[in-house]
Amino acid sequence: MVVERGLVVEREAQLIRVFVPKRERYFRGIPRGKLLKKTKIFAGDRVEGSIVEGELFAIERVEDRKNLLIRPPIANVDRVICVMTIRKPDFDNFLLDSLLVVYDHVRCEPVVLFNKVDLLEEEEREELERWTRIYSDAGYEVVHVSARTGRGLERVVDLVKGEICILAGPSGVGKSSILKRLTGEELRTGEVSEKTERGRHTTTGVRLIPFGEGSFIGDTPGFSRVEVLQFVRKKDVRKYFREFLRYECRYPDCTHTKEPGCAVKEALREGEVSCERYKSYLKMIKEYLEELKEICD
């Protein structure tokens, strides 16, 4: 029998929908065999099996997952599109830095997306450029977009080709508008914030919507608020400030705070590491550094 490969694009109660790229169509998925009675299946799972009676995808095996996000429950998420704005609402760099740490920890590569660029006045444009430099120097992909005019979205489509993505970011930044532009569909569910983390959609299934060439986007956004230390151990936070990884400190387990011979702090003094990013780091690990005043004013 021919082994077919598919992607679970929807999981809602007993319903499983599987997309089979080779056949360019969807099938109803039915788990097979004893093992699968115990294996949970999630949207984003890559599965192997066979097609029965031309209509059903009999799932024989679930491939190992790269990751599994819990809320929303999606497996194998390659990308998180962190949607931010300079205005409406005002940019919250600490929130962005927190999202970058948490998603890096689960091996989701972030894109920093600034939306609503159509709204910006001269001065605000400068602010956008300043933050763009900070994040691209740190090693992130940054895109400027207007969901209203559609500007910049082709760059996003290009970046995430063939990947499974989700949107994250605070309320009102334009996540629903971006999803609508990318897929033509409405975002079904509300944000998952830290406070309402049970979410408004625990009973709703998760769907992946196709767009671009072989790309899928979750119709549930990721976190809009996040307490990093709930997800990442304090001593590991430094690993997810990717620009810090370029420097070698005297002590390999340097926390880049009070140790002598800290190359990250040296880079901060030289202006190679951004003060804003470093301040976020300290805030995340709940540290205070007296000398920061004199380095960063």
Ligand X SMILES: Nc1nc2c(ncn2[C@@H]2O[C@H](COP(=O)(O)OP(=O)(O)O)[C@@H](O)[C@H]2O)c(=O)[nH]1
Minimum Å gap between C-beta 35 and ligand X is 39
Q: How far is the CB of 243 from Zn ion (least distance, A)?
A: 12
The residue type of 294 is E
CA–CA gap between residue 58 and residue 37 (Å, rounded): 13
Written as six digits, the tokens of 144 are 């400027």
Identify residues 166-195 at the interface with Mg ion (CB under 5 A).
176
Contact 43, 10 (CB under 8 A): yes
Angle separating helix axes 275-284 and 93-105, nearest 10 degrees: 70
Decide: 263 and 246 in contact? Cβ < 8 Å: no
Among 161, 223, 209, 291, smallest CA distance to 44 is for: 209
What's the closest the beta carbon of residue 231 comes to Mg ion, in angstroms? Answer: 23
The answer to whether 220 touches 188, Cβ cutoff 8 Å, is yes
Rounded Cα distance, 294 and 109, in Å: 34
Q: What minimum distance in Å lies between the beta carbon of 180 and ligand X?
A: 7
Which is nearer to ligand X, 173 or 254 (by Cβ)?
173
The DSSP line for 113-124 is EEE-GGG--HHH
CB-wise, 32 or 180, nearer to ligand X? 180
Question: Which of Mg ion, Zn ion, ligand X, none does 115 bind, CB closer than 5 to 8 A by kind?
Answer: ligand X
Which stretches of the chain bind Zn ion, using CB under 5 A? 249, 254, 256, 262, 264
Q: Does 224 bind Mg ion (CB under 5 A)?
A: no
Q: Which does 147 bind (CB under 5 to 8 A by kind): Zn ion, Mg ion, ligand X, none?
A: ligand X
Name the residue number minimizing CB distance to Mg ion.
176
* Token duo for residue 263: 């190359």
- Quick note: the x/- pattern for Mg ion over 10-49, rule CB under 5 A, is ----------------------------------------
Environment class of residue 228 by beta-carbon count within 10 Å: exposed (0-12), middle (13-18) or buried (19+)?
buried
Between 53 and 288, name the residue whose CB sits nearer to Zn ion: 288
Residues binding ligand X (CB under 6 A): 115-116, 118-119, 146-148, 171-177
- From the list ligand X, Mg ion, Zn ion, none, which binds 264 (C-beta under 5 to 8 Å, kind-based)? Zn ion
The least CB distance from residue 181 to ligand X, in Å, is 9
Question: In 3-state terms, what secondary structure has residue 104?
Answer: helix
> How many CB atoms lie under 10 A from the CB of residue 220?
27
**Residue 44 vs 169, nearer CB to ligand X:** 169
254 binds, among ligand X, Mg ion, Zn ion, none (CB under 5 to 8 A by kind): Zn ion
Residue type for position 261: G
Q: Which residue is nearest to ligand X (CB)?
A: 174
Shortest spacing between CB 85 and ligand X, in angstroms: 8
Judged by beta carbon, residue 176 or residue 215, the one nearer Mg ion is 176
| Alpha carbon separation from 35 to 6, 10, 62 (Å, rounded) | 18, 21, 10
Which residue ranges make up the site for Mg ion (CB under 5 A)? Answer: 176
